[in-house]
Amino acid sequence: MPVKKAAAGAPTESVQLVPLRYLAHARSGDKGDTANVGVIALEPEYWPVLLREVTRERVARHFGDMVSAVQRFELPNLRALNFLLHGALDGGGTLSLKTDAQGKVYSTALLRMEIPVSAPIAATLLSRHAP
Amino acid sequence: MTRSIRVAAGQGFWGDWLEAPVRQVTDGPVDYLMMDYLAEVTMSIMQKQKGRNPAMGYARDFPQVMERILPTMVERGIRVTSNAGGVNPRGCAEAVLDAARRAGLAGKVRVGLVTGDDILDRLDDLIARGHALADMDTGRPLSDIRDKVLSANAYIGMAPIVQALDQGANVVITGRVTDTGLTLGPLVHEFGWDPVDWDRIAAGTVAGHIIECGAQASGGNLLKDWRTVTGLENPGFPIAEVSEDGSFVITKHPGTGGVVNVASVTEQLVYEMGDPRSYITPDGVADFTTIQLRQAGKDRVAVSGISGGPRTDMLKVSIAWFYGYKAIGTLVYSWPDAFEKARAADAILRKRLSALGLEFEQILTEYVGVDATHGPLAGPPDPDLPEVQLRVGVRARDKAPVERFTREIAPLVLTGPPSVTGFAGGRPQVEEIVAYWPALVDRREIEPHVKVEILEA
């Protein structure tokens, strides 16, 4: 995955976009028509980045029409964020016709999101994930 | 000297690995085996089975596995707590008693049967007395769908399990007891925890939450460094080793596969989480933002610091109701132009359904290999995909259009785009949809009806 220059309006030139999966792991589940995604920092130093960059608004934009509303909760003790993705499961439970009716892989769908990180962190992540 | 109690998870859902409970009681020391069978959808499935045969409606795997392991459990003094009873706990208890007798354990097994969660026969009375039992998600009152209700069960907590254990039961069988109550019950029984000691109640609840999905806490379905998780051909299911003060260690038997580390426990902690500050159960409210995790050795994670708050006045009710019908049909298209062929087939199918005048609440098309798991986030597919599975689902209140849909898939093989296969399974099945209606009810309406009986083999 090539790293792109940050979008216009980003604070400095030294910020780069990287896939969230380089910084976090995740698990998801369901409650009715709501999917939850727990996003967990892979390293302690990534936690402040998650806290700052993986915002409710950005996650809502990432999923677009796939969800009707997003809530975010913080668990600093676990260096984790929990997202509730409402209306994500096409009715949920037994009603849903989706392959992922129980939201099991919304986790990896969220990890596709690209987030801005500082150049030094980006360099480390890139070298670690170099093909 | 500090005493600890080892509660072992033997089953994470109905259909989980059948060898797990056997391994848990034979591969090392445990005090309790906790067998969780019930998910939201499971109660609906059990209700369907009971509708066809009134003797069914519970996890039939459970008496079978009990027959295999009861001799070991009796010999080692291991006791089991399980919500395998589903919508027919009495039928399940009787099957276990039969299994115990067949295993030569007559006179040595006491089954604690917990009933009172089933409120189907009481719904009209409850509604008449002003309990709306409104859908927690939509706010609609239950009276809207009253004539379609198939089952209704209140989620009850650990209290009847404690009572059954106090009375010497070695197998406790319940209906809709919470997953976490199956772990908390043995702890309250063993340590004599005060049921209003909210921090300890929360700690036992968190222990239950971590182990209730079986190996999902010990290396199964673990995303972080998944390639490094080895030995999953013999996964070690999790064990909570709990101390009197409520702190505990999550571990697994030596020599088993998988891994117990901070990542595996954290992934399970966030699974199916809502607001982490208030994980609500009938027994109390746990604050997940207080949980501290520490790697305390190989395959040992120490969990401490948990605080909780008082239980609420309401219990959750799980209501299953008849909604309608659905069917899902699939066909596989091969290279070249696999995705394009699948899309063309979908367009033809939809025109035929429309020309037949069939009405559906929804027609959903997914292309497995392209967008079935991540939707549009997956981006445009590789133009050279070796194959794509067309997967079309329909849902309707009436059976007729769904039935007709199931006859429109196979014809596409000879009347649609080329290089299609994967239809050997025959026509899609029409499935009845039993939907889930979550509601709340005043706990004072439920608790006086909860009953514990001791049945002897």
Instruction: Evaluate if residue B21 carries a pLDDT over 80.
Output: yes
For the stretch A81-112, pLDDT in tens is 999 999 999 988 889 999 999 999 999 999 99
Mean pLDDT within B189-214: 98
Cα B414 to Cα B245, B366, B402, B409, B417: the distances in Å are 69, 21, 22, 10, 8
| Cβ contact A38–B269 (<8 Å) | yes
Q: Looking at the complex, does the CB of residue B372 fall below 8 Å from at least one CB of chain A?
A: yes
Q: Looking at the complex, does the CB of residue A43 fall below 8 Å from at least one CB of chain B?
A: no
For the stretch B2-16, pLDDT in tens is 699 999 999 999 999
What is the residue type of A91?
Answer: G
Mean pLDDT within B78-107: 97
What region, left, alpha or beta, does residue B299 occupy, with left being phi > 0 and alpha being psi -120 to 50 degrees? left
Rounded (10°) angle between helices B198-211 and B262-269: 100
Chain A interface test: which of B209, B273, B292, B370 (most A C-beta within 10 Å): B273
Q: Looking at the complex, does the CB of residue B361 fall below 8 Å from at least one CB of chain A?
A: no
Task: Output the six-digit token pair for B73.
Answer: 């459990």
Average pLDDT, chain B: 96
Tell me which chain B residues have a C-beta less than 8 angstroms from the C-beta of A42: 224
Question: Can you say how many angstroms the Cα of residue B414 is from the centroid of all Cα atoms in its chain?
Answer: 41
Measured in residues, chain A has a length of 131
Check residue B438 and report its DSSP letter: E
Hey, which residues 85-124 in chain A have their CB within 8 Å of chain B? Answer: 90, 92-95, 97-100, 102, 105, 107-109, 112
Which distant-in-sequence residues (6+ apart) come within 8 Å of B130 by Cβ?
none
For the stretch B352-410, pLDDT in tens is 999 999 999 999 999 999 999 999 999 999 999 999 999 999 999 999 999 999 999 99
Predicted TM-score (pTM) of this structure: 0.95
The complex's ipTM works out to 0.95
Confidence of residue A4 (pLDDT cuts 50, 70, 90): very low
Q: Looking at the complex, does the CB of residue A33 fall below 8 Å from at least one CB of chain B?
A: yes
| Cβ contact A112–B377 (<8 Å) | yes
Coil/strand/helix, residue B58: coil
- By the 10 Å C-beta count (0-12 exposed, 13-18 middle, 19+ buried), B432 is classed as middle
CB B361 within 8 A of CB B397: yes
Stretch (H or E) spanning B200: helix B198-211
Rounded (10°) angle between helices B159-166 and B181-191: 50
Residues B391, B322, A28, A73, CA torsion sign: positive
Q: CA of B41 to nearest chain A CA: how many angstroms apart?
A: 6
Query: Minimal CA–CA distance to B341: which of B387, B376, B295?
Result: B387
Instruction: Evaluate if residue B412 carries a pLDDT over 50.
Output: yes
- By the 10 Å C-beta count (0-12 exposed, 13-18 middle, 19+ buried), B275 is classed as middle
